Amino acid sequence: MTVLLEQAGKLIMEKTGIMPEVRIPLAESYGRILARDLAAATDFPPFHRSPLDGYAVKFADVCKADSDRPVSLRVVDYVTAGNLSQVAVRPGTAVRIMTGAKIPAGADAVIRLEDTLTEGKTVKILTASGADQNICRQGEEFRQGETILTKGAVLRDGAMGILAMFGQAEVTVYQRPRVAILATGSEVIDVNDLLETGKIHDSNSYMLAAKVREAGGEPVLLGQVPDVLPEIVERLRRPDGIDLYLTTGGASVGDLDLMGQLFERLDIQPLFTRLAIKPGMPVLAGCWGESLLVALSGNPAAAGVSFEVLVRPLLRKLAGAACHERGRARVVLSQPLTKTGPVRRFVWASCAPGPDGRLAARPLLVQRNGMLAGLILANALLDIPAGSPLLPAGTEITARLF
């Protein structure tokens, strides 16, 4: 049963919910996905404060000051960040103020230190240009009760800083979905095993584990099993609490491609068995109890493409992310794509700004199904429509950006 990519995505998305919520320390929340909207507990800044070192003054006193006719003011106090001035600013006076300090009562402007000359208890104001703008006003960033972060947001450094700014020592996020990854194939061995003729080390498990982590999941590596159906079943049944199962290998139609038999053994009704894309056409997916099982090709480049275009959006939804898809952009080919075909194709590429400012895409052409070389430099996946002719350099196409 071959289906279009968008149809396959819809079929598996319909079978997917969102993970439960969990409360965790803010310090452990990097990369997690916010489960509830968060509102500002207070105004921020919580008071009028100075953005620079200088003097807090009344603007009416100094608005006409210039270097030829400086205005002299009496300095009545000195205030640093974290402390409060005990003296109000009155006409003819100034308070020396440091960056971050609360603006003293009576002041409505701050003169930059470099625009002054200090003589004992007197300060001469050489210019007041922009001084009435040199105040960070209470609530100019956030007002109390205003939504500062929405659920589904990924917590990065800026978001964590904002949460800390409002005293959020803990945060409610979605649990990470646990993703079991099993590599099948009698030729596949563990990375710790000595490589023998006819064998290959398991690269798929580690590549997919990295992709699962990046997408917001928690990979559970089940290791490698030979092309023996009972052993595959036994290994898949080992872990508890799995939200998504991924297998690699055995998804095609060869003598030892056992995923079809696996689905029968586990009483899984396939949602589809092939995607109308290359690479990554062999993909089986179905519901196994409360979880989904997705069987990918054993070819690394094909498995990588299938994960990116099908599994990653599914995992992002499961993880609670507001945005499921990679960002997309129109890019310009820096070299031709000469391969044509009736099926939609995805090509790993390296994108960078070109001389005209547009994104230029260099296809990484050494990427037959079993090759991983294209993944090393790739930061984009080119989407080549079905039936496209030869595409010369300069052609504009769509890319999924990493």
Q: Residues 92-121: pLDDT tens digits?
A: 999 999 999 999 999 999 999 999 999 889
In the chain, which segments carry CATH 3.90.105.10?
A: 29-43+141-174
Q: For residues 216-246, b (16+ Cβ closer than 10 Å) or e, as one string?
A: bbbbbbbebbebebeebeebbeeeeebbbbb
Query: What does the pLDDT look like over 34-65, one tens digit per residue?
Result: 999 999 999 999 999 999 999 999 999 999 99
Closest CA to 329 of 394, 381, 365, 393: 381
Contact 106, 99 (CB under 8 A): no
* CATH number assigned to the domain covering 327-401: 2.40.340.10
Q: What's the one-letter identity of residue 335?
A: Q
What is the pLDDT confidence band of residue 282, given thresholds at 50, 70 and 90? very high
Which tokens sit at 26? 């803010």
Predicted confidence at residue 196, as pLDDT, reads 87
- What pLDDT is recorded for position 373? 65
Structure confidence at residue 372 (pLDDT)? 64
* DSSP-derived secondary structure letter, 68: S
The pLDDT score that the predictor gives to residue 367 is: 47
* Closest C-alpha among 138, 134, 163 to residue 148: 163
Q: Which CATH superfamily is domain 29-43+141-174 in?
A: Molybdopterin biosynthesis moea protein, domain 2 (3.90.105.10)
In this prediction, residue 371 carries a pLDDT of 56
Query: Which H or E element spans position 182?
Result: strand 178-184
What is the percentage of the chain residues whose pLDDT exceeds 90?
86
CB atoms within 10 A of CB 312: 21
401 strand-pairing partners: 327, 380
What is the model's pTM?
A: 0.85
Name 57's bridge partners. Answer: 109
Q: CATH 2.40.340.10 spans which residues of the chain?
A: 327-401
Q: Between 3.40.980.10, 3.40.640.10, 2.60.40.1580, 3.40.50.970, what CATH number should domain 2-19+175-319 receive? A: 3.40.980.10
Higher-pLDDT residue of 384, 369: 384
Report residue 99 as tokens: 């960056």
Q: Which pLDDT score, from 0 to 100, does residue 340 have?
A: 85
Confidence of residue 369 (pLDDT cuts 50, 70, 90): very low
pLDDT category at 255 given cuts 50, 70, 90 is low
Q: How far apart are the first and last CA of the chain?
A: 30
The 109-112 sheet, strands edge to edge: 109-112, 54-57, 93-97, 71-79, 122-125, 116-119
CB 204 within 8 A of CB 19: no
Q: Which of 31, 68, 72, 30 is nearest to 55 (CA)?
A: 72
Q: Given a cut of 50, is residue 153 above it in pLDDT?
A: yes
Put residue 307 in one of left, alpha, beta given phi > 0 → left and psi -120 to 50 → alpha.
alpha
* Structure confidence at residue 172 (pLDDT): 97
Query: Mind listing the pLDDT tens digit for each residue in 202-213?
Result: 999 999 999 999
Q: Which CATH number fits domain 54-133: 2.40.50.100, 2.40.50.140, 3.90.1300.10, 2.170.190.11?
A: 2.170.190.11
Q: What is the pLDDT of residue 124?
A: 95
Give yes or no for a contact between 180 and 246, defined as CB atoms under 8 angstroms apart: yes
Residues 6+ apart with CB under 8 A from 85: 56, 77, 79, 95, 97, 101, 102, 104, 105
| Mean pLDDT confidence for 185-213 | 92
Q: Which residues pair with 400 in a beta bridge?
A: 328, 381
Helix, strand, coil: what percent of the chain each, to 5? Answer: 20, 35, 45
In this structure, what token pair is assigned to residue 242? 């799995």
Query: How many CA atoms lie within 13 Å of 177's alpha carbon, on the beta-carbon side?
Result: 30
Residues of the chain within CATH 2.170.190.11 domain(s) are: 54-133
Cα separation values, 250 from 106, 158, 183, 298, 324, Å:
77, 44, 9, 7, 28
Mean pLDDT of 296-302: 90
**Does a cis peptide bond (omega within 30 degrees of 0) precede residue 45?**
yes
